[in-house]
Amino acid sequence: MKTVKDYIRTIADFPHEGIMFRDVTTLFADARGFRMAIDQLLHPWAGEKIDKVVGLEARGFIIGGAIAHQLSKGFVPIRKKGKLPGQTLSQAYKLEYGEAIMEIHEDAIQPGERVLIVDDLLATGGTCGAGIKLIERLGGEIVGCSFIVDLPELGGRKLLESMGMSVRVLCEFEGL
């Protein structure tokens, strides 16, 4: 019986030499694998009150849209700076070399709304950490964070858990 991990291909030396890129597009392209991933991402949150699903740019939009549809809830994108057309809140976060900025529409989350954050991959936790801060600034309550892949050596899960987050992942890959 195949697992979600079996549908994910690894591409060596992308985008830089020494990186083992975990490509979830092969998972998304397979109807059975994609359905399995969405069902498994939803499972830990069964019975939880969730008002909105937030997807982190860009593959989190694919997952988040499918999960929001399954839950019959709204979907909210968190995007890189300058990509959203309305009034936004911004949150900077550190990258390995430098800094990046994520944004959310100011009216995307109402105070007290319960939010599930989803993305394809958890590495350092920087992008998700910025998303958490944005949602909290809008008064949202984060139910938890779900990812298809975790790269545990990069410490993202520990960072998010240190922020008080409940983190669920479907599979792990060693290395970068």
Whole-model pTM: value is 0.96
| Domain boundaries defined on the chain | 41-172
What mean pLDDT value characterizes the chain? 96
The dihedrals phi and psi of 155, each to the nearest 5 degrees, come to 80, 10
The band of 176, judged by pLDDT with boundaries at 50, 70 and 90, is low
Catalytic sites, residue numbers:
59, 96
The Cα 2–Cα 98 span in angstroms is: 39
User: Is the pLDDT reported for residue 25 higher than 70?
Assistant: yes
Looking at the structure, give the CATH architecture of the domain made up of residues 41-172: 3-Layer(aba) Sandwich (3.40)
How confident is the model over 85-96, as pLDDT tens digits?
999 999 999 876
Burial (CB < 10 A; 0-12, 13-18, 19+), residue 131, is: buried
pLDDT above 90 as % of the chain: 93
Answer whether 71's CB lies under 8 Å from 43's CB. Answer: no
Residue-wise pLDDT for 71-84, tens only, equals 999 999 999 999 99
Q: What percent of the chain clears pLDDT 70, i.e. is strictly above it?
A: 99
State pLDDT tens for residues 3-12: 999 999 999 9
Is residue 129 within 8 Å of residue 159, measured between CB atoms?
Answer: yes
Does 160 score more than 80 pLDDT?
yes
Reduced to 3 states, what is the DSSP secondary structure of residue 108? coil
Residue 97 has pLDDT above 80, yes or no: no
